A and B are shown apart, each in its own frame.
Chain A
Amino acid sequence: MQASCAQPRMGVYVCHCGLNIAGVVDVEAVRDSARALEGVVVARDNKYTCSEVGQKTIADDIRDLGLDRVVIASCSPRLHEKTFRGVLEKCGMNPFLLEMANIREQCSWVHSGDSAAATEKAKALVRSAVARARLLSPLSRSEGRVVPKVMVVGGGVAGISAALYLGNMGIKTYLVEREPSIGGHMAMLDKTFPTLDCSLCILSPKMVEVAENENIQVLSYSEVEKVEGQVGDFRVQVRRRARYVDEAKCVGCGDCAAKCPVRVPDEFNRNMGERKAIYIPFPQAIPPAYAIDAEHCRYLTQGKCRVCEKVCERGAVVFDQTDRVETVEVGAIVVATGFRPYDASKKPQYGYGRYPNVITSLDFERIICADGPTHGKLKRPGDQATPGRIAFIQCVGSRDEHGHDGAGAYCSRVCCMITAKQAFMVKEKHPDSEVYVYYTDMRTAGKGFEEFYQRGRGEGIVFVRGKPGEVREEEGGSLRITSEDADSGCILDLSFDMVVLAVGLTPPEGLVDLAQRLNLSRSADGFLMEGHPKLRPFETSIDGIYLAGCVQFPKDIPDSVAQAGGAAAVAAATCSRQKIEMDPLGPVIDEDLCIGCRLCEMLCPYGAIKVEKTDRGYKARSIEVACKGCGVCGASCSARAITMKHYSNDQIVAQTRALLEVS
């Protein structure tokens, strides 16, 4: 099919999209106005153009009427451009001879109040699409290679699960973790709701499985620094921080830590205990190797000590290690960097950080955990006394409609059940204690959740609907809460021994930087944006980069694991492809016009255009594999020697003129 012949033969298809478009836009009028446009051989309206019937109509017309351009007026090209390009391809047509007019998202859905104006706008958008279609040229896609390996960024339960799914499929997987050990927040929890499984007892076997899986390589104490390339062929630079301990030699005996003279607050225990400067975050850590905290190590800060080096029989302590940057090639990336608990000190009214007996839900997990600073005995931090009266305050940092103090407007989904679990555990350990929960709404949607919550109510936990305005400290470290009980209308003025703030989940530290490095969009809540809120929950706007766990939005453990499985499946699908076809949107350089000024070379963000000496002087040359098709070179060329394929100036000018034509 020749596309550049004198008069193109165009078919225009105007979609009703049920009533989504037809309920506002006069689809028949749009169809008739398209029919009158130059070069339009056929114009039809379809109930659903994307349906099998709709696609068949187009395919039949291509065959019967010899169409060489197809214009579809329907939803956003971001949704269905791929679908319709596929229809053209199946009919033996070049897929780049398709143009779409977005008359749903950018017309009917936003102009429902003015049908007449929306119809006129739809006509203009179709006119513009036809004008552009007239100037389209057939293009051939270039092919890129596929590296059949995956990188999973973040070693919490989502990242661990994704890595295991991938490793078990036989795909070489790199699991990158910022901390010295994988495990993430789940490793810090005592029990999980609603089954009260011991958290680490179910996580630790998975961590061991990661260590033993020959397809998985854990890059702990490491961070992603730079990402280049595209789907199928990413080059990721990973900064591997100096651990000062040889992972291969260390057996985790702990002789070094026993002799280390430096004591540091233990972040794994939420700073409620101490660790040494050479440490292992928790006994089940993977890799099971110690690490030296360079910020506190006496030798690394003051130049003398080296006790750990002397006591290590295996010679695993290596002080001459330095940070190094490794480049890893992968075909797909799964981002699973989790969340950060809301910083409760940003709500000074609750006194976190000022009143020792006000703690967060994560602090509570460490206190109640047998491995924690109190060895599982319920003691309050202020004086190590056992609290008999405990209050939980819900939605700290969540459901804050104004988003004050870094709080989210969203519901963090897990805090209600975390509190139900923790309140239940208090009652289990100390049946005589009094437990109050101040809540906004108890949200218990999940398998077995409501039943668990009702069980807690049965144990005598008091649920008060109301959000306390403040917590006041009284003599002896007890805490007073005055709040309205919205259900009874009474004012409750109560004193407690300890207050637990159920903190929300916020985007993880450094996510802004990571999103920029990976070129990913973030949603209004600050978490990473999925490819489509309903139908592409694992994908992102970037092909080859997928999401798992709380980095997309707060979720509980089973949901994180489920999403990890999905992300692993799509990443594996990418890796199983023989080659990746890339859209040919690059520049065409007219060497007669090029004056070799190098502006394009200087402005190209990818080094995809280079000026070379030729026998006609210096001329710009495009490097197709590196080009991503942004068009900065074409829009900047001082000699106007560069034409962009598929988004040429001629095409854009034709679109503009057609838009502004008086119909």
Chain B
Amino acid sequence: MADLAVGGRVAGQGQGQSEEGFEPEVVGFLCNWCSYAGADLAGTSRLAYPTNLRVIRVMCSGRVDPEIMLEPFLDGADGVMVLGCHPGDCHYLSGNYQAEQRVRTIWMVLDHLGIDRERLYLDWVSAAEGARFADMVSEFVARVRTLGPAGGGPASREGLSRGEFAFRAEVARRVAGGERFRWLVGRNKALSEEGNVYGEKVSPHKAAALMQSVIADECVRAAIEVLAGEAPVSVRDIASRLGISAQLVLEQAAYLKRRGLIELYDVSGRSPRYVRAGARA
């Protein structure tokens, strides 16, 4: 299946700021025990870094829900940092491994949706690494600067308009909130190390392929839900918006209809139109 990005790429609408005038908005999720303490140490040591980063303190990087990692992109962030304790040093033993699983999987979703994965950054900072933290923030802000504003049209790496970026970020967030996605992320490590319910170990390669196919389906489903949530939309229109075949859209629409998430609105020409369940007046 073609990545959504290919068909969906929309030319910029001239909204993007020029690169020099662009100040990236960066949100950081920092764990209380290591990375937040490291950031505090950067302060105590008076190590300057760009003002672009704004921090939200959480107890553990493992607390950062995949939906929450994507939320800032819906609100105008150009980059997101998730920082935890070094592997093996997690205050809660293994939360940072979960954070890593989530970020790696979200990167696959972002790749699929044509959003540059570099906008979501994951790293480890210990409570002693004030200087490392300050350097990391400086480098990430510089990196986001070269990516351009999220949804900045031609001024951005992805070339997506603000509206298109927001649409894709919303699709990504819905995927990250989905049951299949969350189950696979949570089980990913165990699947390759302990095996599935039948005790069969799944090779990392196979697990990635499985994840890839789940992401492909989930992205289409989420996109249909988003589009049908606004107003009745035809299969043909969805297909052309996503740059995929009408057949693929119809398959996933049928699934969503079975689950009672969307309903048939009417048939326009030869293409059925769907709307969010319960939205029909």
Give chain A's interface residues, CB within 8 Å of chain B.
76-78, 102, 104-107, 109-114, 117-118, 120-121, 124-125, 128, 515-516, 519, 521-524, 529, 541, 585, 595, 597, 599, 602-603, 605, 628-632, 634-640, 644, 647, 649, 652-653, 655-657, 659-660, 662
Contacts and interface: CB of A to CB of B under 8 A. Distances in A.
B182 to A, nearest CB: 4
Ordered nearest first, which 8 A-B pairs have the shortest CB separation? A105-B43, A631-B63, A630-B92, A109-B43, A117-B51, A605-B93, A632-B62, A635-B65
Contacts of A595: 179
Contacts of B234: none
A287 B57 CA distance: 49
Contacts of A638: 179-180, 182-183, 186
Interface in B12-69: 25, 27, 32-34, 36-37, 39-40, 42-44, 46-49, 51, 54-60, 62-68
B177 A640 contact: yes
Contact of B183 (A521, A597, A656): A597
Contact of B182 (A78, A118, A637): A637
Contacts of A117: 51
A106 B58 CA distance: 15
Contacts of A631: 58-60, 62-63, 95
A529 B36 contact: no
Contacts of B186: 599, 602-603, 636, 638
Contacts of B190: 602
Contacts of B223: none
Contacts of B63: 630-632, 634-635, 644, 647
A110 B71 contact: no
Interface in B156-184: 177, 179-180, 182-183
Contacts of A110: 42-43, 46-49, 134
Contacts of A605: 92-95
Given A104-B43, A109-B43, A597-B183, A635 B98 contact: yes
B177 A635 contact: no
B185 interface: yes
Given A640-B177, A649-B65, A128 B51 contact: no
Interface residues of B, number: 59
Interface stretch (B72-80, B112-120, B269-277): B72-80
B187 interface: yes
A179 B39 CA distance: 39
Nearest to A513: B88
A118 B127 contact: no
A105 B77 contact: no
Contacts of B57: 77, 102
Most buried by A among B63, B92, B190: B63
A647 B127 contact: no
Contacts of B54: 121, 124-125, 128, 659-660
B89 interface: yes
Nearest to A644: B63
5 contacts: A529-B127, A595-B179, A632-B60, A635-B62, A656-B71
A599 B98 contact: no
B56 A603 contact: no
Contacts of B33: 521, 541
B256 interface: no
Nearest to B34: A521
B43 A106 contact: yes
Contacts of A647: 58-59, 63
Nearest to B98: A632
A655 B55 CA distance: 10
A120 B185 CA distance: 37
B111 interface: no
Interface in B108-152: 126-129, 134
A262 B49 CA distance: 63
A560 to B, nearest CB: 22
B68 A599 contact: no
A128 B27 CA distance: 12
Contacts of A636: 98, 182, 185-186
Nearest to B72: A656
Interface in B236-252: none
A516 B89 contact: yes
B34 to A, nearest CB: 7
Interface string B175-217: 0010110110111001000000000000000000000000000
Most buried by B among A515, A631, A634: A631
A639 B179 contact: yes
A109 to B, nearest CB: 4
Contacts of A124: 54
B104 interface: no
B257 interface: no
A635 B67 CA distance: 9
A162 to B, nearest CB: 24
Contacts of B60: 630-632
Contacts of A655: 56
Given A120-B51, A599-B187, A636-B182, 10 more contacts: A76-B40, A76-B43, A106-B43, A128-B56, A521-B33, A595-B179, A602-B186, A638-B182, A639-B179, A660-B54
B168 to A, nearest CB: 18
Contact of A656 (B75, B93, B127): B75
Nearest to A525: B128
A603 B98 contact: yes
Contacts of A634: 63, 65
Contacts of B40: 76, 78, 102, 105-106
A644 B63 CA distance: 9
B68 A652 contact: yes
A126 to B, nearest CB: 11
Contacts of A107: 43
Contacts of B134: 110
A110 B135 CA distance: 12
A519 B56 contact: no
Contacts of B129: 524
